[in-house]
Amino acid sequence: MKPILRKVAVHGGHSFSVREDVLPYLYNHWHYHPEVELTLIRKGRGTRLVGDHMERFTDGDLVLLGPNLPHMWRNDADYFQPDSGLHIEAVAIHFHENFWGDTFLQLPEMEPVRMLLKQAGRGLQIHGKAKAALALQMEEILQASGPQKITLLIHLLTAIAATPEKSFLSSLGFVQEYNLQRTDKINEIYHYTFNNFTQALSIETVAKAVHISPHSFCRYFKTRTSKTYFQFLAELRIGYACKLLLENDMSIAQVAYSSGFNNLANFNRQFKAITGKTPMGYFKGYAGKVVIGSS
């Protein structure tokens, strides 16, 4: 299965798409599209994958993605439970790089935006104080009409280009090497792992579930994600452990076993390797986002 090519709807009378989503959960398939995407998660939590980068997301997440960069927002498991009462709220802007004409971005005045869109090929996360101001500008675009809509988009992109409060997500190597045309089962692997990561998993079990021979699985996963399967699994489990540490009154041992680890010493070692802190140190000193598997 290839990553899904998602069609972005642009309604008549508009040159680019701006939409508000209020749904039980986010679109949770590994996918790509030819449009640039700017997504604000007003409300929601889970794990975000962009290229070979994986990270927890919560309310206020703001990300700019370039064309054809595979990505997925996967809400936590409780969003998929019947009668959970949970929902997500998001604002998404999609546009083709040349929707305003083939020469507009070549104007000298547009160089900052042109360079920003080039950087977005790896995915960019906006954070810090800039994020709140940019989120308000997105809300303005959502309500605007006519020429003002395009003017506000230019102002928004210029502001993103100007802020130092942004960072790359996917690695340069992934962007250069990833081939969308290759036969791809990575979506199946991701879904199986997200649904089962708290259980004991082996290469043989996962390979059988997605119909790949165990002999081929490890090499296949490494070539598609730039990391080993067990590295990916550990990052996913530690991200979930971070959530449990902050949202539940659980002991360190309970968090470890609930996250899929069957050995407390291994959990502590993996936690520090990935987050740079011990579980207790993380709990006591948490003062911002958690980056899992950043490049």
Fold held by 4-174: Jelly Rolls (2.60.120)
What is the sign, positive or negative, of the torsion defined by CA atoms of 60, 61, 64, 65? negative
Task: Using alpha carbons, select from 226, 221, 231 the residue that is nearest to residue 188.
Answer: 221
d(CA 114, CA 118): 6
Whether 236 contacts 271, CB under 8 Å: no
DSSP 167-233: EE-S-HHHHHH--TTS---HHHHHHHHHHHTTS---HHHHHHHTT--HHHHHHHHHHHHSS-HHHHH
Supply the pLDDT for residue 186. 86
Supply the pLDDT for residue 117. 97
Whether 241 contacts 256, CB under 8 Å: yes
Question: What are the phi and psi torsion angles at 167 (to 5°)?
Answer: -145, 150
Q: Name the burial class of residue 144, with classes exposed (0-12), middle (13-18) and buried (19+) by CB atoms within 10 angstroms of its CB.
A: middle
Supply the pLDDT for residue 198. 94
135-148 per-position pLDDT tens digit: 999 999 999 989 99
Q: Mean pLDDT across the stretch 25-41?
A: 92
Task: Using alpha carbons, select from 63, 58, 59, 73 the residue that is nearest to residue 37.
Answer: 63
What is the sign, positive or negative, of the torsion defined by CA atoms of 225, 67, 161, 59? negative
d(CA 207, CA 184): 14
Domain ranges of the chain: 4-174, 185-292
Percent of the chain at pLDDT > 70 equals: 89
d(CA 12, CA 60): 30
Contacts of 155 (CB under 8 A, 6+ apart): 137
Name the more confident of 224 and 38: 38
Q: What is the CATH number of domain 185-292?
A: 1.10.10.60
DSSP 96-163: -TTTT-SSGGGSGGGHHHHHHHHHGGG-EEE-THHHHHHHHHHHHHHH--THHHHHHHHHHHHHHHH-
268-277 per-position pLDDT tens digit: 999 999 988 9
237-293 per-position pLDDT tens digit: 999 999 898 887 889 999 999 999 999 999 999 999 998 899 988 888 763 444 444
Task: Report the SS3 class of residue 267.
Answer: helix
Contacts of 288 (CB under 8 A, 6+ apart): none
Which pTM was predicted? 0.81
Task: Report the SS3 class of residue 1.
Answer: coil
